[in-house]
Amino acid sequence: MNDKELFENNCLPLFWLEDEETVETPKMTPKKDLQTLLAELEDIQNRIEDLSAKEWLLEKRMHFYKAGFSPQ
């Protein structure tokens, strides 16, 4: 009998009963204190502000470029 016939006759081969899947447990990162978290949050906020300033500058440059004021 092949595997399909065994399956249809509810006769599963023994290797089908083996659990080969292994679940990886997530690695725990060390907990940080409040001051470290606040410092990281401030760094993120500063990066967001810097990116917003760059975005504003690029928008102004695009406005001048589209208006034809760009240097040739």
Indicate the number of domains in the chain. 1
Structure tokens at 27: 């690695």
Higher pLDDT among residues 11 and 12, named by residue: 11
CB 13 within 8 A of CB 3: yes
> What whole-number distance in Å separates Cα of residue 53 and Cα of residue 65?
18
13 within some domain: no
> What whole-number distance in Å separates Cα of residue 43 and Cα of residue 46?
5
Instruction: Give residues with Cβ within 8 angstroms of 6, minimum separation 6.
Output: 12, 13
25 within some domain: no
pTM for this model (two decimals): 0.50
1 within some domain: no
Range of the domain at 39: 31-72
Please report which residue ranges of 30-70 form alpha helices under DSSP H.
Answer: 34-67
Report which DSSP code applies to 19: -
Average pLDDT, the chain: 82
